[in-house]
Structure 1
Amino acid sequence: MFSVFTKWLDSLFADEEAILLLLIIAGALALIVGLSHILAPVITSVVLAYLLDGLIVKLRAWRVPAGPALVIAFSLFLAACAALTLVIMPMVWKQAVSLFQELPHMVGKGQLLLTELHQRYPELITEEQFHSVVSSVASELTGLGQLLLSFSLSNLLNIVALSVYAVLVPILIFFMLKDKRMLLGWFAGFLPENRPMMRRIWEEMDEQVANYIRGKVIEIVVVGGVTFIAFSIMGLNYAALLALLVGLSVLIPYIGAAVVTVPVTIIAYLQWGPTSEFIWLFVVYAIIQALDGNILVPLLFSEAVNLHPVAIILAVLFFGSFWGLWGVFFAIPLATLVKALINAWPRAKTPCESPNLSS
């Protein structure tokens, strides 16, 4: 039994390049886990640099010189950051504060709606169950309000760190884009010259990660923007806040859309009740989700992410439990990396696979 296990290990780790690659990946994961807070601006910069590099490639394809293409892409990035900081985030923050202030009124309105529902259909729920549901809903909403308050206070304490990030991240992005070849060449200098498996995995992952990041950011902007326009036209309260949640929900495949439907439904029902406005809003929201899943996602990602839905969900749960939001965001690229490693890993040939030298 031990000899069989030893032979299996020898066949699995017979290639020196495979062992080196495994050590590099293990070291990188340990570094990220141990220094995640310190490396957060670097990881953010890498993600945004991938995003802007795609724009630079497009500009270069339109015969724009390298220097002006870098300046144009970086200027658009700074303009987007300014719009996010000066326009979008203040609007979302204002609506979040308003929602927090309206929570007691919403709790009372929710209790009234539950009372009316209980009076209309008393056979569906007993008196004890009704009061238990009302009290639990009230306590949960009160706890949510306290959580939002503590979250806001903790963010105010991190304002200095956010200011440092606001300065460091643009600088890192600029030099990552400007000196991309030099940085990659410096890192490659520590690797062996003969590394066919590493090259194959790097080329595949570089394209996969770039397509995924660019596609996911475009999906967030499009879904969030369309949702905000639709909710604003229909007059839904907290349209900007809900649109931001809907846009960010695309980060978690399959699960995010189901989770974000709950606050949208609750706020719409408390605002309109079981009226035609509520039904139409739900129809429009369902259409947005359907167009995102059936048109936008295939158009943006195509075959870039060729993973089974079960593998995607498991990757989101696994990597999200380790690295939170970053783990959720990179769950699909990391799962693709695992798949690429499995496909590229050298395997010992069995007698059936050995070349036939007698022919």
Structure 2
Amino acid sequence: MSESQRWFLLITLVVACGLVYLLAPILSPFLIGALLAYLTDPIADRLEAKKLSRTQSVVLVFIVLTLLLVLAVLLLIPQLTEQIQTMVRQVPAVIEVLHGRLLPWIEQNTGLSIDRPDLESVRQLFAQYWQQTGSVAAKLMGGITRSGLALAGWVANLVLIPVVTFYLLRDWDVMMANIQHLLPRNLEPKVTLWARECDEVLGAFVKGQLLVMLALGVVYATGLWIVGLDLALLIGMLAGLASIVPYMGFIIGILVAGVAAYVQFQEPTILAWVGLVFAIGQMLEGMVLTPLLVGDRIGLHPVAVIFAIMAGGQLFGFVGILLALPVAAVIMVLLRHLHDGYKKSRLYSTDEPEQTGEVE
């Protein structure tokens, strides 16, 4: 890479970061559209390979996505709303169980003395909190409704997402080819290699791990529904989302489901059935879902995912969260190549002649 190329790439990077910072309020629908186009491009490519035109492939993909969205709105959203209300109604019972059974059991078996809060005060505090939350939500919705400009912007973003997704998906391969042709000729092979590796990293996480999370959410929700838990869908989806970090979904899910099941059934034996559901989910994840959906592709480390999302949100807000994973994938690939270069450099090994004897 020549000196002028280094300066050009550095200036381009600085300008790009500055534009992201300045244009962050309007970038969300474009980034969401780009993410959806990236996720669905392989499906469109497969349809195109079956002798369909690119536009026909994209239209077919959009029909399927629209049907899934309508199905989610009609089936999942009302169920989740009802289960959230059920959870709120069960909170006093959960407090009663913790106050009247769990704390005495801990004191009896550990010999510890735990200061118990006044149950009525806790109930009043919780009721006051939910009342304030509802009041704030009502004021917020009222403000959005009264502000025609804010409401129009919100609606415009919702409308822009499918429009941007459609055009990006239709021209995705053309845009990638144009970007490749714009690269300096001496850098094009290396940058293409890096881009392919970044795609593998993102594919291992976004296209693989997210499918694993969705599948685990369905497995957990179905299992808890068979057990008879009222909050099966809510807890199952929560455990599936928490599975972004290995074992976190299992731990959070089994704890929350265990408390909810005990409050609902008041039978200790129900905990065994809850444990069985999550044990089956873990076995399916390890033996079926992860090998099938992720395979042996190199993905982002869970700690790197958490740090990237938090850092992106801190620096650029919601836009930073959307950009966190692609940027983390690029940094991971660059660090891998820097590591390989370091191992081959004189900083790591010297050019001194080898010793005649080897040390085992």
- What range is the shorter-chain TM-score in? 0.7 to 0.9
Aligned to 1:317, which of 303, 307, 331? Answer: 307
Give, in angstroms, the shift of residue 27 of structure 1: 4.4
Residues 24/100 of structure 1: CA separation in 2 closer, same or farther (3 Å cut): farther
Q: Give the partner amino acid of 2:312.
A: F
1:272 aligns with 2:260: no
1:285 aligns with 2:270: no
**1:101 corresponds to which residue?**
89
Q: Give the partner amino acid of 1:87.
A: L
Give the SS at the match of 1:131.
coil
Residues 266/169 of structure 1: CA separation in 2 closer, same or farther (3 Å cut): same
Give, in angstroms, the shift of residue 44 of structure 1: 1.3
Cα distance in 1, alignment partners of residues 318 and 272 from structure 2: 33
**2:116 corresponds to which residue?**
131
Residues 76/306 of structure 1: CA separation in 2 closer, same or farther (3 Å cut): closer
Give, in angstroms, the shift of residue 282 of structure 1: 1.6
1:296 aligns with 2:283: no
- Map 1:1-359; keep pairs closer than 5 Å: 17=5, 20-114=8-102, 117=105, 121=108, 124-126=111-113, 129-132=114-117, 145=130, 149=134, 152-153=137-138, 156=141, 160=151, 162-185=154-177, 187=179, 191-196=183-188, 197-306=190-299, 309=301, 312-323=302-313, 333-344=326-337, 350=346
Q: Give the partner amino acid of 1:266.
A: V
Give, in angstroms, the shift of residue 169 of structure 1: 0.8
Give, in angstroms, the shift of residue 338 of structure 1: 1.5
Residues 143/350 of structure 1: CA separation in 2 closer, same or farther (3 Å cut): farther
Larger deviation, residues 237-246 vs 108-117 = 108-117
Cα distance in 2, alignment partners of residues 205 and 278 from structure 1: 43
Q: Is the 8 A contact 1:272 1:278 kept in 2?
A: no
Q: Is the 8 A contact 1:56 1:69 kept in 2?
A: yes
Q: Is the 8 A contact 1:55 1:73 kept in 2?
A: yes
Q: Give the partner amino acid of 1:322.
A: G
Cα distance in 2, alignment partners of residues 329 and 298 from structure 1: 27
TM-score by length of 2: 0.76
Q: Is the 8 A contact 1:114 1:134 kept in 2?
A: no
Cα distance in 1, alignment partners of residues 121 and 325 from structure 2: 37
**1:3 corresponds to which residue?**
none
Residues 342/43 of structure 1: CA separation in 2 closer, same or farther (3 Å cut): same
Give, in angstroms, the shift of residue 76 of structure 1: 0.4
Larger deviation, residues 16-25 vs 67-76 = 16-25
Number of aligned positions between the proteins = 336
Larger deviation, residues 83-92 vs 160-169 = 160-169
Cα distance in 1, alignment partners of residues 125 and 194 from structure 2: 47
Give, in angstroms, the shift of residue 62 of structure 1: 3.8
Larger deviation, residues 16-25 vs 245-254 = 16-25
Residues 75/253 of structure 1: CA separation in 2 closer, same or farther (3 Å cut): same
Segments of structure 2 that go 5 or more residues without pairing to the other structure are: 146-150, 352-360
Give, in angstroms, the shift of residue 73 of structure 1: 0.9
TM-score by length of 1: 0.76
Give the SS at the match of 1:216.
helix
Q: Is the 8 A contact 2:309 2:321 kept in 1?
A: yes
Q: Is the 8 A contact 2:312 2:324 kept in 1?
A: no
Larger deviation, residues 58-67 vs 182-191 = 182-191
Larger deviation, residues 94-103 vs 158-167 = 158-167
Cα distance in 1, alignment partners of residues 39 and 124 from structure 2: 43
Cα distance in 2, alignment partners of residues 34 and 261 from structure 1: 43
Larger deviation, residues 230-239 vs 141-150 = 141-150
**1:8 corresponds to which residue?**
none
Q: Is the 8 A contact 1:107 1:141 kept in 2?
A: no
Q: Is the 8 A contact 1:201 1:340 kept in 2?
A: yes
Residues 165/316 of structure 1: CA separation in 2 closer, same or farther (3 Å cut): same
Cα distance in 2, alignment partners of residues 252 and 155 from structure 1: 33
Q: Is the 8 A contact 1:227 1:246 kept in 2?
A: yes
